Amino acid sequence: MGKKKLGKYAAAKELANIIAPNVIDHQTSEFEATWDPHFFGNSNPVTLELGCGKGEFTVTLARKYPQRNFIGVDIKSDRMLMGARKATEEGLDNLCFVRLRIECLAAYFPENMFSEGFITFPDPHASSTNGKRRLTSGRFLALYKQVFVPGSRLHLKTDSTILYDYSRESIGEHAFNLITATDNLYGAPGEFGEITDIQTTYEKRYLSRSKTIKYILFSL
């Protein structure tokens, strides 16, 4: 690992709003300590951003909705550092970032913890033959069912036609409810609100390359 990245990991450890749970057993996803239910000190609803990168959604929404809590999850704490620093500077205490593999969601968080989710520009795993690693595959949808309150809404944004088509199919196949979908978010009629107002690092990159952004809203 490069010096710069090591420095970022060290800095992440210093911030109270980045949690890096210790895994005791990688095979069983056993953690030294699981999620502390008293972390936010209130029982406000919690929104989860999956694969949050620099945490643009998490920080923007936390700023906008002080009566809700927000958690961004990513495996790379050096990326989350940017969002965590911004939140600290602004004194936002209704958010945190957790360094966690999404595969371990249900081992770390309790059942029915989240009431809304954002999956923003996940790796499409375009060459995958069965799509098992995609964040909308049956395996991941089953995990979401454990940690989200029934009926929760999940938003997926992607530039990938492969992931978009796959996700629509997977959502239907696993009996989740497709609320809306468009293969051209910024060319679609109608008002999509927040989902178009907040653009992540990856989204900005894809838009600058004239890529078309796709969007799916579904419920569990």
84-113 positions binding ligand SAM, by CB under 6 A: 101-103
Q: By C-beta, is 108 or 218 nearer to ligand SAM? A: 108
Could you tell me whether strands 23-25 and 30-31 are parallel, antiparallel, or unpaired per DSSP bridges? antiparallel
Q: Please enumerate in sequence order all residues whose Cβ is within 8 A of that of 109, keeping only pairs 6 or more positions apart, or say none.
A: 34, 35, 147
CB of 74 to ligand SAM, least distance (A): 5
Question: In terms of Cα–Cα distance, which of 206, 208, 157, 199 is closest to 182?
Answer: 157
CB of 41 to ligand SAM, least distance (A): 26
CA–CA separation, 109 and 38 (whole Å): 13
DSSP-derived secondary structure for 35-57: --TTSSSS---EEEEET-TT-HH
Beta bridge partners, 99, equal 74
Q: By C-beta, is 30 or 123 nearer to ligand SAM? A: 123
The answer to whether residue 200 forms part of the interface with ligand SAM (CB under 6 A) is yes
The answer to whether residue 72 forms part of the interface with ligand SAM (CB under 6 A) is no
Spot the catalytic one: 93, 123, 159, 197.
123
The answer to whether residue 128 forms part of the interface with ligand SAM (CB under 6 A) is no
Q: By C-beta, is 88 or 201 nearer to ligand SAM? A: 201
178: enclosing H helix or E strand: strand 177-182
CB of 129 to ligand SAM, least distance (A): 18
- Helix boundaries (H) for 52-184: 56-64, 77-90, 105-108, 138-147, 161-173
What DSSP character marks residue 19? E
Catalytic-residue membership of 36? no
17-56 positions binding ligand SAM, by CB under 6 A: 51-53
154-183 positions binding ligand SAM, by CB under 6 A: none
Q: By C-beta, is 117 or 122 nearer to ligand SAM? A: 122
Question: Applying CB under 6 A, which residues contact ligand SAM?
Answer: 51-53, 74-76, 79, 101-103, 120-123, 200-203
Residues known to be catalytic: 123
